Amino acid sequence: MYGYQHNRSIAEEPPAKPRREPFFGDVPAPVLWLAAVMVLIHAARLALSEDSDFEVLLWFAFVPERFAADAAEMGYPGGPVTAAMTFVSYALLHVDWLHVLANTAMLLPLGASVARRVGGVRFLAFCVATAAGGALAHLLSHPGAGVPMIGASGIVSGLLGGLLRFRFGPQGLRPDLAGRAEQPRRSLLSLARDPQAILLIAGLVVTNLLLVAGADAFAGPDSSIAWQAHAGGFLAGLLGFPLFDRPDPRPAP
């Protein structure tokens, strides 16, 4: 038998080029699960009769009216536990395919970045908190309103708020969307002193208001965008992110 000897030794091989990480990294399973649940729920609702779908809204949509003093006389199903559940369950329901697909398209990249930093369990807990923050803001701004609120926009806005705490550095947006744990978490004071961060937040607010105004113009009088829920979710994410973040080995700037 004859062997073949290469003229270059293994030690002389040029170093392999570093693998370029995808722009959003691999989407963690909990993010995919959440997006899939939203899509499947909407598909299942389309198979229901109008009366049955209305029952789904009564059980799971967020309606400020059910927290009024005389809510027990209004015929809402369930009790206090069901009412508390709607602070989160409303985020899994959507108006139409455009609504659910738009929220899903934003959830996947933003959620991937947060989930890769904090882990799947903390990510889901963070989504629960931001959904509740959006519902609370809607409740405070629409006390006694009988119109149901649905949609995951509070979660999406909360993810944006959380991203600002570790993705936006002193030199601007960090290129690594994977959100690695070694990146220091920025303090609120640091963000408040950063003109770029303030400008970015102002841009998000203006963009959100413009989207709301445009959507309201096309939606008609029977439907509207709950921008207060967007703001509540964003603040919940921005302020509450440290509660869900993994311990940072380095002090926040």
pLDDT at 103 (0 to 100): 93
Average the pLDDT over each of 11-20, 41-50, 131-140, 223-232 and give the range with the smallest value.
Answer: 11-20
DSSP 3-state assignment of 51?
helix
- The neighbouring-strand residues paired with 62 are 149
pLDDT at 94 (0 to 100): 93
The residues spanned by each domain of the chain are 25-216+223-244
pLDDT at 63 (0 to 100): 92
- Give the highest mean pLDDT range of 87-96, 181-190, 196-205: 87-96
**Homologous superfamily, domain 25-216+223-244:** Rhomboid-like (1.20.1540.10)
Given a cut of 80, whether residue 17 has pLDDT beyond it is no
pLDDT at 32 (0 to 100): 95
Beta strands in the chain (DSSP E): 168-169, 172-173
The two structure tokens encoding residue 250: 């380095």
What sign results for the dihedral spanned by CA atoms 154, 207, 220, 96? Answer: negative
Confidence of residue 23 (pLDDT cuts 50, 70, 90): very low
The two structure tokens encoding residue 230: 């967007």
pTM of the model: 0.80
Tokens 């934003």 correspond to 106
pLDDT at 2 (0 to 100): 40
Mean pLDDT of 114-123: 93
Residue-wise pLDDT for 75-113, tens only, equals 788 888 999 999 999 999 999 999 999 999 999 999 998
Given a cut of 90, whether residue 60 has pLDDT beyond it is yes
Confidence of residue 9 (pLDDT cuts 50, 70, 90): very low
Residue-wise pLDDT for 211-225, tens only, equals 655 554 444 444 456
- Give the highest mean pLDDT range of 79-88, 187-196, 225-234: 79-88
